[in-house]
Structure 1
Amino acid sequence: MRKGSVKEVLAKIKYDPRENESDYYIVIEHRGAYGDVKKIPVEMIELGHGYFFVGEAQIPYHRILRVVKKNGTVVWETRKL
């Protein structure tokens, strides 16, 4: 399941022509509040160096808890869970 950093996994999903980014979403911890999580479709994010962007919002990669395929398959999960 966990192969590489979350940024590497997201880059593969977004830029590999064999992948369809609309098939994936990320689960993030919102503002570090335990239990306050949000789902964001991968197609809505732009990758940066230490952060990713959703519109104007800049969010650090360490807030990502997991990357999930819409069929429920977890493709990456943080070790801190």
Structure 2
Amino acid sequence: MGIFMLKEILNKIFWHPDYKREDFEVVILHRGAEENKKAISLDDVELKGNYLIYFDTYIPLHRILEIRNKKTGEILYKKK
């Protein structure tokens, strides 16, 4: 799955009426964090171009390792 598929999944979560952003989180590559990973609720970010904006930090989409549903544990995207 490339950036196109990743953006398609994120757009669906952000804009489709059947999905709620607060139900999902992304796991990103975050050097220095435990296991170099950090989970962020999609309720706390904006999607702008090829970036997630988390407060004042721009996170490139290629740093997303996983997108998962917090309630069900379902993984919608996992980087190889």
CA drift at 1:31:
3.8
Paired residue total: 78
Please, what TM-score do these two structures have when normalized by structure 2? 0.84
RMSD: 2.2
Corresponding residue for 1:73? 74
Closer, same or farther in 2 for the Cα pair 1:74/1:37, shift >3 Å? same
Gaps of 5+ in 1: none
Contact between 1:32 and 1:63, CA under 8 Å: does it hold in 2? no
1:55 to 2:45 alignment: no
Contact between 1:30 and 1:38, CA under 8 Å: does it hold in 2? yes
**Local SS of the residue matching 2:52:** strand
- After the TM superposition, list the runs of 4 or more consecutive aligned residues in structure 1 that deviate by more than 6 angstroms: none
What letter is aligned with 2:50?
G
CA–CA separation in structure 2 for the residues paired with 1:12 and 1:32: 31
Please, what TM-score do these two structures have when normalized by structure 1? 0.83
Gaps of 5+ in 2: none
**Local SS of the residue matching 2:18:** coil
Larger RCO (CA within 8 A; separation ≥ 6): 1
Say which structure is richer in helix. Answer: 2
CA–CA separation in structure 1 for the residues paired with 2:19 and 2:51: 22
